Amino acid sequence: MPSLSSIADVRVDAENLLAAIGANAELLQDAAPATTPLVANLARLKDLTTRRDTLKVDSQVLSTEIQGTLREIRDECAVLRALVKSKLGVRSGKLREFKVPPLGQSVRRKKGSSSPDPEPVPAPQAPPAAPQVG
């Protein structure tokens, strides 16, 4: 007989064995006391698998609650940072302590120019010529 590895296979095998022993009780009268530990362990296995399945569902529910709580925390942090920004001013360097970027000085551009002049790109140089052997 092959080795049973899954929980369901082991449980079904044990239940079938108990049913077969029960169906042949008059032939196997001595086996009845030996079935007591198996019956107890089957009941324990059913309880443990039920608890495991419940914990899986609880874990999924908790994960959803955690995600909701994280969303609320992010929103509350944004509200607090806005409050700090309104109290300290939008240009205060102290805002960095609260992970809020202060508004910096705007750069004045020359009249008529929409962007600063780009830096000239150096032209590529040809590799040195190899000496000719004559």
Handedness of CA 70, 71, 72, 78 (dihedral sign): positive
The first and second tokens of residue 84, run together, are 């700090």
Distant-in-sequence, close-in-space partners of 28: CB < 8 Å, separation ≥ 6? 21
> Please, which pLDDT band fits residue 74 given cuts at 50, 70 and 90?
very high
Look up tokens 């002049």; give the residue: 117
> Please, which pLDDT band fits residue 33 given cuts at 50, 70 and 90?
confident
% of the chain surpassing 90 pLDDT: 45
If we measure between CA atoms, which residue out of 30, 27, 4 comes closest to residue 15?
4
Checking if the pLDDT of 113 tops 70, the result is no
What pLDDT is attached to residue 124? 63
Indicate the pTM of the whole model. Answer: 0.51
% of the chain surpassing 70 pLDDT: 75
Long-range contact set of residues 125-129: C-beta below 8 Å, sequence gap at least 24: none
Indicate the domain borders of the chain.
Answer: 7-98
Average pLDDT score over residue span 69-91? 91
**C-alpha distances out from residue 126 to 64, 114, 120, 123, 130, Å:** 64, 35, 19, 10, 12
E strands, 8-115, in order: none
